[in-house]
Structure 1
Amino acid sequence: MTAPHTTGEALLIPKTFQSQQSLDELVERYKTLRLHGLQVDPKSFSSTYEIESQFSPAIWRSRLQNPAGQTFVSVANSDKQDIQNDTAIPTEPGDSDTSLQRLLRKDWVGIVTLLGPVLYKPDADEGTPAKPWDVFIKDRKYDIPQSALDGNTAKEDVAYLVVAMFVLPDERRKKHASRLLETLIQTVRKDARAREVSKASITIQVEPDNGAAQGLYEKLGFEVWDKALPLENRRGEINHVVSLVMEIDLT
């Protein structure tokens, strides 16, 4: 039996809530961690703190409730300090220790978002064969899907994109990033099997000078497909990123 992690766990943020208070609490905590990441690691994101700090509450809610996206949170083992001070924490009916309750109760130390699946055709009839990330990029900018993939996907190829990875600097090298990605990969495998797809490809992109992150991704099974993919950020600047892909063949 595998020993349990000692530094926390990775949890998926749900899409629906019986309590508006629970949704508002999760949105606020996601917003706080995301904005902190944009401040302390600006090079790791295509967006900026200046832009996202002006987002309305509706935009932040749409981030978590986008049907084509799933956001995972790495939480610390210890509970939030404010619980010891009898601060009210939103609750949902039922079991007091569901994943939602743990999301509400524990400190968040890392986040990552999985986009997709999106159908893609790897063997283009003309020109260069399509890459898995092509379905998420338009005119060198991210084109984020806003609707879930419907219909029959049996024997099709689908693509996923990993975005917005961030772990608090003080919590790095404690397996939070690997735990987030392992949970994300398991989610893709489960989803792809349920859809009966032929192959699922997961793309993750990283700055060329972030060797530690790239090393982690390769250790988990990602392979470098492009060492200098040009992408335009929110400032209108062209950055070149390393694109890594994990292919999950389900045939």
Structure 2
Amino acid sequence: MLHYEYSFFRIAKDNTIASSAQKYKQLRLHALSVAPTSFSSTCEIESALPDTEWVNRLAANGRETFVCAARPTESHSSSEKQSIWVGQLTLRGPQSPQVFLLPAESGQKNPTEEGGEELWQMLSLFTRPDHRGQGLGKRLCQEALNYLASYKESPRKVWVRLMVKPENRATVGLYRGLGFAEAGKCTLAEAMVANGDRDLLPNDISGEKYSSRTGLIMMLEVCRS
């Protein structure tokens, strides 16, 4: 049985991005295949995307992607020594208050221009099943939150929002352990828009699937020192 050491990092937007995009693509398609109900997109849709689209995702302004990589601590061949990507997480932002707003019936506390908070959406947390149970998801989230706390000095307050299915109790518990608190309820349509998947919505979103307010909104306030 192999043992691994893990590293956590933000994907750099430099001349290594094409190579990073291939690793990200493999992990993302694996996530969509083993946890299809956790994402608004599908493996069928994303496996058809050209390589340029995967590069564009990682290079896009207002989007930061974080990865957990695993490297065997003992190996017998050069191929076994190579690290593999086993976890991922994305941040979207900073967002304007207008983009961050939700209807009053959501129960979410909405930002204002006067408040001056920096606004981010956290999404797409995934860890490969064969590497779960070791706290990697929590450490991946901490890497992203540390980035938000330190990549610049102001504004002092940063709001981080995520949307999750309440029946995913383990995931909800992970977020609570990081300090996230329940902040309201969202519809599937609102979650897809917040996560950047507006183009995947059908023309008619009036049905219960997209309009029922069953998703859990959780928020965390990060204070920069």
- State how far apart, in whole Å, the 1-side matches of 2:201 and 2:69 are: 32
Equivalence for 2:195: none
Q: Aligned pair 1:114/2:91, yes or no?
A: yes
The secondary structure found in structure 1 opposite 2:49 is coil
Equivalence for 1:216: 174
Q: Which runs of 4+ in 1 moved over 3 A?
A: 79-83, 126-135, 233-237
Structure 1 unaligned regions, length at least 5: 1-5, 88-104, 136-152
Deviation string, structure 1 residues 190-230 (Cα, Å, up to 9, x no partner): 13xx251142100122112100000010001000112x310
Deviation string, structure 1 residues 94-119 (Cα, Å, up to 9, x no partner): xxxxxxxxxxx411110011111123
- State how far apart, in whole Å, the 1-side matches of 2:137 and 2:80 are: 31
Equivalence for 2:158: 200
Structure 2 unaligned regions, length at least 5: 193-199, 203-208
CA shift for structure 1 position 131: 4.5
The secondary structure found in structure 2 opposite 1:77 is strand
Aligned with residue 58 of structure 1, among 52, 58, 66: 52
CA-atom RMSD in angstroms? 3.4
CA shift for structure 1 position 166: 0.9
Please identify, of 197-206 and 63-72, the stretch whose mean Cα deviation from structure 2 is larger: 197-206
Equivalence for 1:10: 8
The secondary structure found in structure 2 opposite 1:184 is helix
Between the two proteins, the alignment pairs up a number of residues equal to 202
The secondary structure found in structure 1 opposite 2:87 is strand
For 1:1-251, what aligned pairs fall within 5 Å after superposition?
A: 7-17=5-15, 22-78=16-72, 84-85=78-79, 105-120=82-97, 131=108, 156-191=116-151, 194-226=152-184, 228-232=185-189, 234=200, 236=202, 237-238=209-210, 240-250=214-224
The secondary structure found in structure 1 opposite 2:139 is helix
The secondary structure found in structure 2 opposite 1:8 is strand
Deviation string, structure 1 residues 27-62 (Cα, Å, up to 9, x no partner): 111001101111110111111112111111121111
Please identify, of 46-55 and 153-162, the stretch whose mean Cα deviation from structure 2 is larger: 153-162
Relative to structure 1, the CA distance from residue 33 to residue 215 in structure 2 (aligned partners, 3 Å threshold; closer, same or farther) is same
Deviation string, structure 1 residues 161-200 (Cα, Å, up to 9, x no partner): 1111111011111111011100111011113xx2511421
Relative to structure 1, the CA distance from residue 133 to residue 205 in structure 2 (aligned partners, 3 Å threshold; closer, same or farther) is farther
Letter in 2 for 1:78: P
The secondary structure found in structure 1 opposite 2:21 is helix
Letter in 2 for 1:230: T
